Structure 1
Amino acid sequence: MSQRDTILHLFAGGCGGTVGAIVTCPLEVIKTRLQSSGLTLRSVYIPQVNLNTINGPGVVRPARVAPGLLQVLKALDISEGCAAEINDIGEITFGIVCSALVSFKEELSVENRLGKVYKLYTRAIYFAAYSKAKEKFNAVFVPHSNAVNMCSAGFASFITNTLMNPIWLVKTRMQLESRKRGEKASNAFQCARHVYQTEGFKGFYRGLTASYAGISETVIHFVIYEALKKNLEEWRFTVRDNDKNVSDFLGLMIAAGISKMCASCTAYPHEVIRTRLREEGTKYKTFLQTARLVAIEEGYSAFYRGLQAQLIRQIPNTAIMMTTYELIVHVLG
């Protein structure tokens, strides 16, 4: 792969991730709030009436349940305003410019690198690493086989998780930050400085083990996506031997949505554990200890809190991201 190809995949990945993130940003905040332990403390109370009591009158007993997606959305709007849902859209928008200038990132200030590029760098690094790894593994295994797709996706995820965990931690802390309506949110640089002052450098790598566990989700997603993409390519050459058109990219969008839905449902619990580990000043210390504590205190259903918001967000997000990526690679490549 030439340097031009690497830059192309870097640029296409950054653009794809940025476009998808802009469209689905509000649900990202809601999903993170649903995954956090703080939501349990703010659970709503549903009255349960027991009519068969010894004393005769019915007794109202509160039952603690976790709020749903719409309840969290309403609470965010009432207490913090709509800005809570889109507090990082401005930072994400900046990402599409940064992706074109990723080779000249030394020109960006420290604050911009921390606060405005976490969405773009994740996808830019991932797709560049994935395409490079795929080229290498094609020379080791049967070209374009499932083994190549699995190894490439796993390698790219490992590299991306290791490099981007500090920025992801800052993003999670910003999304979990509670504030009153009209109160100005902390920016990414302030949040990063607070993490360093209170937890040291190692604090930026909280939740990394859960991110490594999440590599399985990426592997499942790309194996299914590549298989569906291959079938679409074979169908296109069978039915009509010509260049790609709108229907082909629509097919890629559907393939990306299906593959991400399967991957998210299979590997979702690691996201809940990862969010808990990234919370500030919590009792959660390690991956296994967090998993055990959540299961004991909240039950196994807690591992799937926020899944509804995740699916509503991730399916269109991934479909838009992958299609944008494929379109840019096709046009510029």
Structure 2
Amino acid sequence: MPNIGFTAITATNPIWLIKTRLQLDARNRGERQMNAFECVRRVYRADGCRGFYRGMSASYAGISETVIHFVIYESIKRKLLEAKAPPMDDDEDSSKDASDFVGMMLAAATSKTCATTLAYPHEVIRTRLREEGTKYLSFFQTLTTVPKEEGYRALYRGLTPHLVRQIPNTAIMMCTYEFVVYLLNG
């Protein structure tokens, strides 16, 4: 699974870099907003092809969030299943009810909250690395510079809205996944 993550990050980083640059483009009133093609030209002129891969190291670090999420999710899911397990009878009922899926949603929400909170600094670092004309040069240099200049809280700037978006999305996605697996297993 990490290989797929590395491949996807490498292939899509130029798109995300352009998106971030366009979001950060602060023009004075009356000036025309930069479009995607202008942004591509600007990045290429400034840094060549290599410029499209700024922030990729932070994206690679973000793979840890997925790993942490799944480890915690599977652990909570296993504990939920053990708690529900019937006494040792030969007649095992493997059917699921709505409470099982609610439990899976809560497990997903909990695990995503933990994983995102632990790994969130990579999001801030990635954005800083993708800024145009920035003093940030590498993952570790940015990781040390931001807290030194702005305090450690700066590594968590934007965490709350990120969680508000991620938690429901992950809970629904994991519940849907578990439901499809349940249906396929009959």
TM-score (norm 1): 0.47
Q: 2:25 aligns with which of 177, 200, 203?
A: 177
Equivalent-residue separation in structure 2 for 1:190 and 1:218 (angstroms): 34
Counterpart check, 1:229 vs 2:81: no
1:171-214 per-residue CA deviation (whole Å, 9 max, x = no partner) reads: 32233234689x98666555445433443221121111112222
In the other structure, the counterpart of 1:321 is 173
The offset of 1:221, in angstroms, is 0.9
Letter paired with 1:254:
L
Letter paired with 1:307:
L
Q: Tell me which protein shows more strand as a share of its residues.
A: 1
Q: Give yes or no for contact 1:256–1:322 (8 Å, CA) kept in 2.
A: yes
Counterpart check, 1:261 vs 2:109: no
Alignment map for 1:10-159 (pairs within 5 Å): 130=1, 154-159=2-7
Equivalent-residue separation in structure 2 for 1:188 and 1:317 (angstroms): 28
1:7-52 per-residue CA deviation (whole Å, 9 max, x = no partner) reads: xxxxxxxxxxxxxxxxxxxxxxxxxxxxxxxxxxxxxxxxxxxxxx
Q: Give yes or no for contact 1:157–1:215 (8 Å, CA) kept in 2.
A: yes
1:81-121 per-residue CA deviation (whole Å, 9 max, x = no partner) reads: xxxxxxxxxxxxxxxxxxxxxxxxxxxxxxxxxxxxxxxxx
Q: 1:238 aligns with which of 86, 91, 97?
A: 86
SS of residue matched to 2:95 = coil
Alignment gaps of 5+ in structure 1: 1-129, 131-153
SS of residue matched to 1:244 = coil
Q: 1:196 aligns with which of 36, 44, 52?
A: 44
| Change beyond 3 A, Cα 1:167–1:232 | farther
| Change beyond 3 A, Cα 1:172–1:325 | farther
Letter paired with 1:315:
I
| Change beyond 3 A, Cα 1:170–1:250 | farther
The offset of 1:156, in angstroms, is 4.1
Equivalent-residue separation in structure 1 for 2:54 and 2:182 (angstroms): 38
In the other structure, the counterpart of 1:284 is 136
In the other structure, the counterpart of 2:154 is 302
Letter paired with 1:276:
R
Letter paired with 2:119:
A
In the other structure, the counterpart of 1:207 is 55
SS of residue matched to 2:12 = helix
In the other structure, the counterpart of 1:273 is 125
The offset of 1:290, in angstroms, is 1.4
CA RMSD of aligned residues (A): 3.0
Letter paired with 2:56:
L
Alignment gaps of 5+ in structure 2: none
Equivalent-residue separation in structure 2 for 1:283 and 1:321 (angstroms): 38
Equivalent-residue separation in structure 2 for 1:244 and 1:164 (angstroms): 38
Aligned pairs, how many? 180
| Change beyond 3 A, Cα 1:243–1:187 | farther
| Change beyond 3 A, Cα 1:238–1:192 | farther
Letter paired with 1:272:
V
Q: 2:14 aligns with which of 156, 163, 166?
A: 166
In the other structure, the counterpart of 1:19 is none
In the other structure, the counterpart of 1:311 is 163
Q: Which ranges of 4 or more aligned residues in structure 1 deviate by more than 6 Å? A: none
SS of residue matched to 1:284 = coil
1:206-239 per-residue CA deviation (whole Å, 9 max, x = no partner) reads: 1111122222222111100122223334455538
| Change beyond 3 A, Cα 1:251–1:277 | same
